[in-house]
């Protein structure tokens, strides 16, 4: 089985993606490779950040690897927080701080449409290849559920009556932005064999 290093320090993402790639690819975490420190993500696009994170690992290990970058794009906020979703409420803010800021920004707004978009950069022999996934939905007026991470408690995907944080991980992974991007990565890797 092919081994890929996943360039993330986010334990939730590592868990989600390991579940999705079980039996297809062996995933090594940064900790398992002895890599420490914050990976820079200073680009102004999801694609640019995904590539920057994957290159960071490639330069240090020369091993095939991948990284993802995700943004929550809210219609009524002209696509914000987008590529800045992690630090929407400021540097070193918590998931709760970000949700509080989002709910305040949308207070009284009737258009609550939003989407999550994920770009994955796969680095093979130092060459980048991109995969993208998206899920449409809306921002709820308060938090629901305890599963997941990030904006999950306030994001309800279209065709569902619950938030991402109320869904079992297998259900979220089937329909989510990251799940859809990973499905494309899996297709690509399966066709290499």
| Active-site residue set | 69
User: Which residue number, 28 or 101, has a Cβ lying nearer to ligand IMP?
Assistant: 101
Question: Closest Cα partner for 54 from 180, 158, 185, 179?
Answer: 185
- Site of tokens 């009737």: 110
CA angle 40, 90, 151 (to 5 degrees): 85
User: Which residue number, 69 or 115, has a Cβ lying nearer to ligand IMP?
Assistant: 69
User: Which residue number, 66 or 151, has a Cβ lying nearer to ligand IMP?
Assistant: 151
Cα→Cα distances 59→50, 55, 64, 99, 127, Å: 14, 6, 10, 35, 12
| Cβ neighbours of residue 48 closer than 8 Å, sequence gap 6 or more | none
Closest residue by beta carbon to ligand IMP: 150
Q: Does 30 bind ligand IMP (CB under 6 A)?
A: no
Q: Does 152 bind ligand IMP (CB under 6 A)?
A: yes
Judged on CB neighbours under 10 Å (0-12, 13-18, 19+), 151 is: buried
Among 20, 74, 166, 178, binds ligand IMP (CB under 6 A): 178
Q: Does 160 bind ligand IMP (CB under 6 A)?
A: no
Distance CA 189, CA 2 (A): 9
Q: Does 148 bind ligand IMP (CB under 6 A)?
A: yes
| Cβ neighbours of residue 19 closer than 8 Å, sequence gap 6 or more | 169, 170, 173
Q: Does 86 bind ligand IMP (CB under 6 A)?
A: yes
Among 51, 52, 57, 69, binds ligand IMP (CB under 6 A): 69
Q: For the segment 90-119, give every residue that binds ligand IMP (CB under 6 A).
A: 95, 98
Task: Point out which residues bind ligand IMP (CB under 6 A).
Answer: 10, 68-70, 72, 85-86, 95, 98, 148-152, 164, 176, 178
């Amino acid at each position: 089985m092919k081994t890929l290093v996943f360039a993330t320090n986010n334990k939730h993402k590592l868990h989600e993606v390991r579940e999705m790639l079980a039996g297809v690819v062996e995933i090594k975490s940064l900790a398992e490779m002895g890599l420490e420190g914050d990976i820079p993500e200073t680009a102004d696009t999801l694609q640019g950040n995904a590539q920057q994170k994957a290159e960071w690992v490639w330069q240090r290990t020369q091993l095939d690897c991948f990284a993802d970058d995700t943004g929550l794009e809210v219609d009524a906020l002209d696509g914000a927080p987008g590529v800045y979703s992690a630090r929407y409420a400021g540097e070193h803010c918590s998931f709760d701080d970000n949700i509080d800021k989002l709910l305040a920004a949308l207070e009284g707004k009737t258009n609550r449409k939003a989407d999550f978009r994920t770009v994955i950069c796969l680095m093979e022999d130092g060459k980048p290849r991109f995969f993208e996934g998206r899920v449409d939905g809306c921002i709820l007026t308060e938090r629901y559920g305890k599963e997941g991470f990030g904006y999950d408690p306030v994001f309800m995907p279209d065709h569902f009556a619950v938030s991402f944080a109320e869904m079992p991980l297998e259900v979220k992974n089937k329909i989510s932005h990251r799940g859809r991007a990973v499905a494309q990565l899996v297709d690509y890797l399966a066709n290499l064999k």
